[in-house]
Structure 1
């Protein structure tokens, strides 16, 4: 499995990183700023699922076909694999601001659908996005987690058609590896959830800039723009750096 991940071309497979500040909070007076790291719990048994948390937000992610997976194995690059006796297996990489979940498909006998059952706090729901990704938002419309658009690549570096579907709290990735002639196995496919930062106090600007790896003046500019609209800036490192104003 390590060889399959190492041979994925481009920057699609993330480098393992420890948690970085992502959930941000202040005391009621707004005088104390605290950065809350994203924590990722990767269990020994795939059937236990992956737990990702930041502050008071916790997301439990069930891995696809976990009932056929063996105990976890730690790969040389720092990721965790769940080998399987079937034609597909899971790999998990903590990314600092989230976690990368990879399906490694070893033959045409493997399934084409990979379902991730999500358990999230009350008042949150999963929805598809127009760019082919998905996101978790709360009842006020604030985005808490974003899933980047699906991708899949075969061993020759050729893209394999793939897409997400959302039914309730289940995100399913379909990989059409049987439908394409000449696919070179293994095929690696991925959903990547990232926790999103919402700044609710000026004292958090410097902390947010450090967490996102962007210049402080950029965060200040978004703070001023959003507060002029009586909103707050929502920032993330998805697709480089993205920002918008939310209530």
Structure 2
């Protein structure tokens, strides 16, 4: 299936249910069209599957989507993030250098390990795909998932301070138009709601993401003098390029390890 076949309206997709299954080439083409919205893989990440050591922590991407993605600090604390619809996903495939995808029938998960954390992209194939995408978290003792005053999801430690932050959500259709999206927190589950069925003008596939800013990066940013509220404001920009640019040269050591 080529990218050209994705520029038809959702009604046409609905009439061709047998052809709605996503392929790696569809996901690759869709992500390539997003440009700066997709994070640049970490320079030293090597193979994206398995453990990637970044700064003071490690990110572990599994072959089986149902095992979830772990982001662990140097002391072993951290979080295990379950992927949406993982039980219905195929085993991992590398769609391009530094990115891993798990295909489903009408949506796919793509995980990119970046220098500052992990981006988890959902590619939505058609109007029959869900509008809610759950990320169930397994937290360390004393941690809590909640929204900041600015409405961004964050993991708080036992002292009530932010340990890990999720950037603002975004969603785009294949024509580059914004699709309404927001987060919802229910206990230890983060849900991204993507309103891709609200308009008949949506062109599939639709792509959405959360970006998880790693705890060691958040801690380092505080250490170089960027205050917590400012980090939250920058995370509210949402996209990888704008976040990296807004942190400024003083935070290069935290983001790129240089």
Q: TM-score, normalised by structure 1?
A: 0.74
1:152-171 paired onto structure 2 within 5 Å: 152-171=171-190
Query: Is 1:78 the counterpart of 2:98 in the alignment?
Result: yes
Partners of 1:106 and 1:131 in 2: how far apart?
A: 31
- Pick one of 48, 51, 65 that aligns with 1:46: 65
Extract unaligned runs of 5+ from structure 2.
1-26, 46-52, 236-242, 251-258
- Aligned-residue Cα RMSD (Å) equals 2.9
Offset at residue 120 of structure 1 (A): 1.2
Query: Is 1:90 the counterpart of 2:99 in the alignment?
Result: no
Offset at residue 178 of structure 1 (A): 0.1
Seen in structure 2, the aligned counterparts of structure 1 residues 135 and 199 have a Cα distance that, compared at 3 Å, is: closer
SS of the aligned residue for 1:117 comes to strand
> Does the 8 Å CA contact 1:196/1:235 hold for their aligned counterparts?
no
Provide the residue aligned with 1:112 in structure 2: 131
Partners of 2:218 and 2:65 in 1: how far apart?
A: 34
Aligned length: 203
Offset at residue 133 of structure 1 (A): 2.0
SS of the aligned residue for 2:116 comes to coil
> Does the 8 Å CA contact 1:93/1:99 hold for their aligned counterparts?
yes
Seen in structure 2, the aligned counterparts of structure 1 residues 149 and 235 have a Cα distance that, compared at 3 Å, is: closer
Provide the residue aligned with 1:122 in structure 2: 141
SS of the aligned residue for 2:185 comes to strand
Per residue, is there more strand in 1 or in 2? 1
Query: Is 1:20 the counterpart of 2:54 in the alignment?
Result: yes
SS of the aligned residue for 2:87 comes to helix
> Does the 8 Å CA contact 1:198/1:235 hold for their aligned counterparts?
no
> Does the 8 Å CA contact 2:164/2:218 hold for their aligned counterparts?
no
Offset at residue 130 of structure 1 (A): 3.7
Offset at residue 113 of structure 1 (A): 0.2
- Pick one of 26, 33, 55 that aligns with 1:7: 33
Seen in structure 2, the aligned counterparts of structure 1 residues 97 and 161 have a Cα distance that, compared at 3 Å, is: same
SS of the aligned residue for 1:136 comes to strand
> Does the 8 Å CA contact 1:132/1:163 hold for their aligned counterparts?
no
Q: TM-score, normalised by structure 2?
A: 0.71
Partners of 2:218 and 2:171 in 1: how far apart?
A: 34
Offset at residue 131 of structure 1 (A): 3.3
> Does the 8 Å CA contact 1:198/1:233 hold for their aligned counterparts?
no
Extract unaligned runs of 5+ from structure 1.
22-35, 201-207, 213-217, 227-231
Seen in structure 2, the aligned counterparts of structure 1 residues 198 and 100 have a Cα distance that, compared at 3 Å, is: closer
